[in-house]
Structure 1
């Protein structure tokens, strides 16, 4: 069922931050790219992960003066590029987080989210799906 390798659904080469980035930079990237999780790299090594939840928990009076390292989570659960999608699903359920950095050895090669797993399962289950957005007429008015 979920025996495919995680690399089949992950986002490859994700946008990454450095410790020098500010919270203002993070907010801009989250908004512009419509994402909720960003890995933090220092000299190519994964040192943290920052999420919209982290920003909410550490609201700053001045996002231009607060650095990623002040807010990021350094206790990161990672997954290997060869692990299965089911492993990611189990980690998400057991730990109640929503993103996993995907590693090839010590190198960050991707990121997978709960949305990626849900999308994978949904598309697999329903081959010829008709989505609400495909049939909904936004101009339709009701009385």
Structure 2
């Protein structure tokens, strides 16, 4: 008699990414990036140059750029000056555990998810926490802690 066991498959980035994220051009102003983030309720924007994916900018990058004393009032700031220098790219089929551990080990807050060389989505720390919270609520059963 063969022994059968329940085999769980490791989810991939596709399981929790935000597909087709909003993006902004490298030469846009910081104010334009801030307005787009605010309008859509996001904290990260992929950054493109002439339509090709280059990097990413976060709300934290923008807050640092616009902090008091960082610039002269009349100075115009651009996305290109404050976006990530070395963004983290991953393939949509990469196993989730590997990417989450990389995010934790390096302290990165977002991953640009690629499919066949094209931007497919984005995974942020918020996406990870939401996914883990839903997963935990699905695998746990309510405990009856009432006294008989």
Q: In which range does the TM-score fall when normalised by the shorter chain?
A: 0.7 to 0.9
1:108-135: per-residue Cα shift (whole Å, max 9, x none)? Answer: 1100011111211211121399xxxxxx
Query: Does 2:48 match 1:37?
Result: no
Query: Does 2:18 match 1:11?
Result: yes
Alignment check: 8 A CA contact 1:47 1:74 kept? no
Distance in 2 (CA, whole Å) between partners of 1:63 and 1:34 is 28
Distance in 2 (CA, whole Å) between partners of 1:115 and 1:65 is 30
**Aligned positions of 1:1-143 closer than 5 A:** 3-59=10-66, 60-61=71-72, 65-127=76-138
Cα distance change of structure 1 residues 83 and 62 upon mapping to structure 2, 3 Å threshold: farther
Larger Cα Rg: Structure 1 or Structure 2? 2
**What secondary structure, in the 3-state scheme, does the structure 2 residue paired with 1:76 have?**
coil
Q: CA RMSD in A?
A: 2.3
Cα distance change of structure 1 residues 64 and 13 upon mapping to structure 2, 3 Å threshold: farther
**What secondary structure, in the 3-state scheme, does the structure 2 residue paired with 1:127 have?**
helix
What are the ranges of 5 or more consecutive residues in structure 1 without an aligned counterpart? Answer: 130-143
Displacement, 1:35?
1.1
Displacement, 1:106?
2.1
What are the ranges of 5 or more consecutive residues in structure 2 without an aligned counterpart? Answer: 1-7, 141-148
Count of aligned pairs:
129
Q: TM-score, normalised by structure 1?
A: 0.79
1:35-83: per-residue Cα shift (whole Å, max 9, x none)? Answer: 1111101233221211111112222555982211111112111111101
Cα distance change of structure 1 residues 87 and 2 upon mapping to structure 2, 3 Å threshold: farther
Displacement, 1:30?
1.7
